Amino acid sequence: GRITNGQTASAGQFPYQVGLSLKLSALSSAWCGGSLIGSQWVLTAAHCTDGVQSVTVYLGATVRTSAEITVTVSSSNIIIHSGWNSNTLKNDISLIKISAVSYSSRVQPVSLPAISSSYSNYVGATAVASGWGKISDSATGVTTNLQYAYVPVVANSVCSNVYGSSIVTSSNICISTTKPVAVTVKLSVTLQSHNMKFLVVFTLLLATAYASPVLFQRQLEVPVLADELGGRITNGQTASAGQFPYQVGLSLKLSALSSAWCGGSLIGSQWVLTAAHCTDGVQSVTVYLGATVRTSAEITVTVSSSNIIIHSGWNSNTLKNDISLIKISAVSYSSRVQPVSLPAISSSYSNYVGATAVASGWGKISDSATGVTTNLQYAYVPVVANSVCSNVYGSSIVTSSNICISTTGGISTCSGDSGGPLVDTSSGVQIGLTSFGAAAGCTKGYPAAFTRVTSYLDWIKTNTGISY
């Protein structure tokens, strides 16, 4: 989460403040806040604890990772409200049970309102929000020092006017962020080429760095999927019109409030190939064909989720089978719109180690960039043995159905290039589609992993009839 335009807390000022490091997978973890409500109980949001493997609880900390007490518990110690709904964000509340802690000047529980037949709606009250999290919209990652801000509670209608009454209910409470002050919950879903799951509303507090109330985003802390934002090519070159006529841009509608960007490739007049983590859970997709400037396409087609085929073996935890197809109405080919060839179906395939491949996409062009680029970027990258990737990400994540590239010199696919093509320069066939990289950042020299196209030629043929 974050407090923007807030102040830095002094030690012991918020002794009930808890920091939570949430382990999402072997590859990724995220950060959220919480409160100590008893010697064995921490209160937090359901969207923070949903799907985590374990949680490390930091108590009595002002500097984020220097806690008086640190406790790690498994998911069996987490109680999520049975009515929690990740689509409507209803009942976004959960409890974490820890071994009993001793109170001190820096570790104290916060009181809850007394149970009563009727409650104040707190409209007009001044509340204090606290947390680590981003301190500005452009900040990357969480802050070191605990931040806080005084905020006015406003009527729920102020929030429902922005987010809709299906999202904001009587079990939410709203704050105004005219200042702009914001609390964002820091936890992002691992995959997500999505600048994605934008969670709205926190059970206790809601805010945003706009002058209207805010969106909460789960955001990652460590190594994770290539898409923090959809993908990118760092340290690459700008493509000329028609240079990559098979390159497709995808604008993915996640909800009324949010959309994300991915890449893809045209493999036939009616078929686009992309990553499953791009299309998973989307409402509709707008496909841009023949574009070099991101939104100036020769052809634009919007299709609903019923036109998306996601591999039945797709697993968002292990990232296995990260591949999907989008069916569009037949397009006419031109100098700027052409399909890419796939490897011929065979009894054995090259592993392409040592080959030079070209990756393309509109993603971020630097680790500090916010959002995707306007002009299509590309980079020549060497294919390396899968062991180079599995040494970094682990053999449970990297399998024979991945293909790996080296990112020496900081040339890499990154956020924004998710789902986009990796093409062998000597044969001109597509050998990979962007899947994941290191959450540490795209320019840090970690290898990047792709879905290996030769592992899915039969699946593509079965679903589209396309084969070579």
179-196 burial code (b ≥16 CB/10 A, e <16):
bbbbbbbbbbbbbbbbbb
Token digits for 447? 């290898």
Tokens describing residue 189:
């879903």
- The rounded mean pLDDT for the chain is 75
7-217 and 232-464 agree in CATH topology:
yes
pLDDT band (50, 70, 90) for residue 374 = confident
Contact of 155 with 135, CB cutoff 8 Å = no
CATH architecture of 232-464: Beta Barrel (2.40)
Q: What pLDDT, in 10s, does the model give residues 52-95?
A: 889 999 999 988 878 999 999 999 999 999 988 876 677 888 99
User: How many alpha carbons fall within 13 Å on the CB side of residue 58?
Assistant: 18
**What's the one-letter identity of residue 259?**
S
CA 453 to chain centre: 24
CA distance 1 to 18: 13
Partners of 264 in beta bridges: 248
Write out the catalytic residue numbers.
277, 322, 418
Residue 434 phi, psi dihedral angles, 5° rounding:
-60, 125
Pairing of strands 237-238, 232-234: unpaired
pLDDT value at 447 more than 50: yes
What predicted TM-score, i.e. pTM, was given to this entire model?
Answer: 0.54
Domain-wise residue ranges, the chain: 7-217, 232-464
Q: How far apart are CA 272 and CA 463, in angstroms?
A: 12
- Residues 244-299 have pLDDT tens digits of 999 999 888 877 766 777 889 999 999 999 999 888 888 899 999 999 887 789 99
Task: Please state which of the four CATH numbers 2.40.10.10, 3.40.605.10, 2.60.120.620, 3.20.20.70 is assigned to the domain occupying 7-217.
Answer: 2.40.10.10
Across 129-133, 414-418, 439-443, least confident range: 439-443
Q: Higher pLDDT residue, 26 or 305?
A: 305
